[in-house]
Amino acid sequence: MSKLRLGVLVSGGGSNLQSIIDHCNSGYLPAEVVIVISSKEGVYALERAKRHNIPSFVVNPKTFPTKTAYEDEMIRLLNSFKVDLIVLAGFLRVLSPHFVNTFQGKIMNIHPSLIPAFCGEGYYGEKVHKAVLDYGVKITGVTVHFVDEGADTGPIILQRAVPVLDNDTPETLAERVLQEEHKIYPEAIKLYALGRLQVQGRSVKIIKGEEH
């Protein structure tokens, strides 16, 4: 079975990128990261890619005249590396319908809450965890979903609950949620690689199959 070719889009430290690389290297994931694209210079995710000899590129939206021109450059790079699945790992740009339609059903994202709670425009990073604590909910979690034309609105693949503790701060909650992210994202990518995900409208069915 040939390995799934992953393109990972990042904007920051890249801890989910590292988790995916580690799960590829351990043999858990029948996949390999073939390209990393960052929307920012100098982020630690680029260092992680370099350490594992993965080709990495900075495609900064500020250096392009239009969003379409910016996304066309990413599309060109991803196609040149024959990417099978695009994985957003802390990528802080909302992708346009132009980009999403180019890779229909082939883009995954992870979000640090139980969608549809605490998601959409403006909800990212620690802002999510602060909103969770401010609202006083008892359970938050992690969602992996396919990307559609909205912000955090695509079909949900997997979710995992994380309890909110009385003494939590945005930082302590973020740390526990991140630990779950590092487990659930490789799981979702593996299901995709094994052809076990079937999208039916808003719903993603997980087809029973042999673990490889």
What are the residue numbers of the active site?
Answer: 111
Burial class (CB in 10 A: 0-12, 13-18, 19+), 125: middle
Query: Buried (b) or exposed (e) across 74-97, using 16+ Cβ within 10 A?
Result: bbebbeebebbbbbbbbbebebee
Contact predicate 161/126, CB 8 Å: no
Question: What distance lies between CA 33 and its chain's CA centroid?
Answer: 13
Q: Where are the alpha helices (DSSP H) in the chain?
A: 15-26, 44-51, 67-80, 97-102, 126-135, 170-193
For the chain, how far is it from start to end, CA to CA, in angstroms?
11
Tokens of 76: 């060109």
Counting runs of H as helices and runs of E as strands, what totals does the chain give? 6, 9
